[in-house]
């Protein structure tokens, strides 16, 4: 990915403002900018896009925690990448998955559409394509442990296999499987630190999933995840209408109003400005 220096500086209020930031705040702003750029376009090669191959250590990443007013696990809907948050368009009374895609998933949709598009082009099953389409969308609500949160949010509406793929892609991301085309991405060396070691619960989950009969489902999510940033590729949600129709059980009352155990998660994304 080309790093658009001018846009980066402009987004933060000009070169003077950027120079006044601490090194850590600047590094974080850069990370946010790059993630945002992935959503907006474009010329990404699948390597995280940072030109310099100098990665922070896990300790350096940890040292940034107290340089920001929010935590890194916060959902996209609850903060602006720069400046202030904006009013959100209201959802229809009985919102569907497509409504959420169009009106709430703006930070994650291009990434997951590219991922599902690649899964479709490479002949993956419809369940894997759907898992790719949904795999990171819960990051609008919360980012930390997003595999587990995402699987929980979708579980009442998708097959067990789709939920399995969403839940466990998070752990598998940290483990290479070159036989299936998954190489550890530089993006994570930047996000977690070059010497980052996954926590024991991630390691244990990986071992369990590696020996599971459905291992390839979450693995294919990671494979399509890694190559999900392609230059000039802008897949449309309509491409997946049939798969959503066949594999997503849309509740007739609308997402958030069906009294399911996860309805509050959908309502929180529908109305993230409610103070309590
Ligand atoms: Fe993910
Ligand atoms: Fe992803």
From the CA of 149, which ligand is nearest? 1
Please compute the mean of the pLDDT values over residues 166-176 and round it to a whole number.
97
Quick check: 35 and 190 in contact, CB under 8 A?
no
> How much distance in Å is there from the Cα of 135 to the middle of ligand 2?
6
Check residue 168 and give its pLDDT: 98
Check residue 33 and give its pLDDT: 54
Number of compact structural domains in the chain? 1
- pTM summary value: 0.82
Check residue 49 and give its pLDDT: 45
Packing angle of the helix pair 160-172, 216-226 (nearest 10 deg): 60
The DSSP H or E segment spanning 111 is helix 109-121
Q: Examine the pLDDT at 241 and tell me if it is beyond 80.
A: yes
Quick check: 222 and 182 in contact, CB under 8 A?
yes
> How much distance in Å is there from the Cα of 234 to the middle of ligand 2?
16
Number of other CB atoms surrounding residue 216 within 10 Å = 16
Packing angle of the helix pair 160-172, 126-134 (nearest 10 deg): 60
Please compute the mean of the pLDDT values over residues 172-183 and round it to a whole number.
96
Confidence of residue 30 (pLDDT cuts 50, 70, 90): low
> How much distance in Å is there from the Cα of 15 to the middle of ligand 1?
32
Q: Which domain holds residue 172?
A: 1-276
Please compute the mean of the pLDDT values over residues 154-179 and round it to a whole number.
98
> How much distance in Å is there from the Cα of 9 to the middle of ligand 2?
26
Looking at per-residue pLDDT, the higher value among 180 and 26 belongs to 180
Check residue 226 and give its pLDDT: 74
Number of other CB atoms surrounding residue 57 within 10 Å = 14
Check residue 66 and give its pLDDT: 96
């Amino acid at each position: 990915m080309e790093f658009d220096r001018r846009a980066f500086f402009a987004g933060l209020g000009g070169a003077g403002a950027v120079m006044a930031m601490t090194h850590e705040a600047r590094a974080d702003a850069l990370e946010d900018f790059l993630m945002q750029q992935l959503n907006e376009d474009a010329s990404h090669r699948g390597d995280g896009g940072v030109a310099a191959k100098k990665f922070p250590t896990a300790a350096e990443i940890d040292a940034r925690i107290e340089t920001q007013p929010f935590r890194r696990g916060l959902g996209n809907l609850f903060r602006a990448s720069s400046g202030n948050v904006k009013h959100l368009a209201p959802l229809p009374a009985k919102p569907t998955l497509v409504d959420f895609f169009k009106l709430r998933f703006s930070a994650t949709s291009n990434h997951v559409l590219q991922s599902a598009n690649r899964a479709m082009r490479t002949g993956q099953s419809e369940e894997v394509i759907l898992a790719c389409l949904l795999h990171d969308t819960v990051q609008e609500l919360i980012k930390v442990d997003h595999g587990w949160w995402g699987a929980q949010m979708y579980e009442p509406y998708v097959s067990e296999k789709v939920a399995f793929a969403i839940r466990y892609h998070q752990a598998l991301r940290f483990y290479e499987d070159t036989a299936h085309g998954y190489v550890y991405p530089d993006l994570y060396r930047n996000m977690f630190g070059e010497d980052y070691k996954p926590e024991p619960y991630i390691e244990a989950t990986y071992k369990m999933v590696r020996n599971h009969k459905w291992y390839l489902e979450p693995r294919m999510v990671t494979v399509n995840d890694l190559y999900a940033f392609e230059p000039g590729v802008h897949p449309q949600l309509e491409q997946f209408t049939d798969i959503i129709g066949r594999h997503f059980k849309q509740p007739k009352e609308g997402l958030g109003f069906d009294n399911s155990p996860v309805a509050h998660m959908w309502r929180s994304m529908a109305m993230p400005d409610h103070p309590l």
